[in-house]
Amino acid sequence: MVIGCREQVSDSDVSPDQGTLASVRGGIFSSEKQRFGLDTLATGLTNPWGLAFLPDGRVLVTERGGEIRVIQNNRLTADRIQNVPTVYRNGQGGLLDIQLHPDYGNNGWIYFSYSKAGNGGGGTALGRAKLQGTAFIQVQELFVGQPFSTSGQHFGSRIAFDDAGYVYISTGDRGNPANAQNLNNHWGKVIRLHDDGRVPSDNPFVGTANARPEIWSYGHRNVQGMVFDAGANILWAHEHGPQGGDEINRVERGKNYGWPTITFGINYDGTPITGETQRAGMEQPVRQWTPSIAPCGVTMVTSARYPNWRGNLLVGALALRHVARVEVDGNGTYLREERLLNNYARFRYVAQSPDGYIHVATESPGLVVRLVPAD
């Protein structure tokens, strides 16, 4: 089987005459339901991956190479956060997502996912720390996926909190599809933990022989977008397919999402992976994209600043260079979608800040941009 990934494109693959977000600052975009402009907050970033919004107005930006940059007063500063754990830099590995604890105002915890080196290669890890000035203190390692692998593919990884005190971290299959169906490893899974890293006693595979107790769901290929919809009590996730078959899923307790037994995608050489797109006991995606858009980053719009987008999922697309505005109903059923900012950049992350603005992080070029409603 040929395994590959459409997630990564080198800067040389992006033609210099194509439009970039930096060049359209001040322009107004008309979508089907919302007009908006763009405000570029940071340029010159290298593989920005995640954003976290501090109460004092600063924005932390992870770069996959291992740095955490700081945006303050709507500009990128020279600050780098100190005492960030060393990352395993291999292919798609590095410093990945970053999120504040929902009760950050009281406990001060900042969570981050990264690839960690160890015996046999590296794997996806979850850590947390507190911020003192521009340095991490009280750095704690909460979870490290096993077993380690020398593969540079499919680390995941996004972090999400629900409203019951649990934290979720996504992983990828590490370039070995069989991992996703094997409960004896952490790869191709969504992991559920208490916020201090303990394993919840009601996780679905606690007490199951030869199963990792941290697993919440399995059968995922490479989940790089995850958000919790508190109103509908849905954990949304999207994942990269191979050549086709990118998915949006409702992630639920103990369920099997099928990779690689069922998929709408094919190998990169055009050969089939499987003849099946459905099987009893395996979940169907809410939405699948063929050809692949290479989804990365997702948020649900709850802000009153975008009244006609409320309840929509916004999904970044790397390969097809747009933001997908995905309409779902209150039961989590896919309705339709629209492409925003088509062909402007490789969209790595989408987030809604506490003040209600949608922010996107892009690579090739490396930017952070805010969408400003024009209506």
Q: What is the 3-state secondary structure (H, E, C) of 154-222?
A: CCCCCEEECCCCEEEEECECCCCHHHHHCCCCCCCEEEEEECCCCCCCCCCCCCCCCCCCCEEEECCCE
Structure token pair of residue 361 = 């992080």
Give the per-residue pLDDT at 7.
54
DSSP class of residue 355? T
**Amino acid at site 190:** V
Tens-digit pLDDT string for the chain (375 aa): 334 445 544 332 333 233 445 444 458 999 999 999 999 999 999 999 999 999 999 999 999 999 999 999 999 999 999 999 999 999 999 999 999 999 999 999 999 999 999 999 999 999 999 999 999 999 999 999 999 999 999 999 999 999 999 999 999 999 999 999 999 999 999 999 999 999 999 999 999 999 999 999 999 999 999 999 999 999 999 999 999 999 999 999 999 999 999 999 999 999 999 999 999 999 999 999 999 999 999 999 999 999 999 999 999 999 999 999 999 998 999 999 999 999 999 999 999 999 999 999 999 889 999 999 997
The whole-angstrom separation of Cα 261 and Cα 4 is: 17
The whole-angstrom separation of Cα 61 and Cα 48 is: 7
**Which residues belong to the active site?**
154
Give the per-residue pLDDT at 69.
98
Phi, then psi, of 363 in degrees rounded to 5: -125, 150
Give the DSSP H/E element, type plus range, for residue 106.
helix 104-107
Domains recognised in the chain with CATH numbers:
29-373 (2.120.10.30)
Q: Could you tell me the pTM of the whole model? A: 0.94
DSSP class of residue 278? -
Decide: helix, strand or coil at residue 18: coil
Angle, vertex CA 211, rays to CA 207 and CA 214, nearest 5: 80
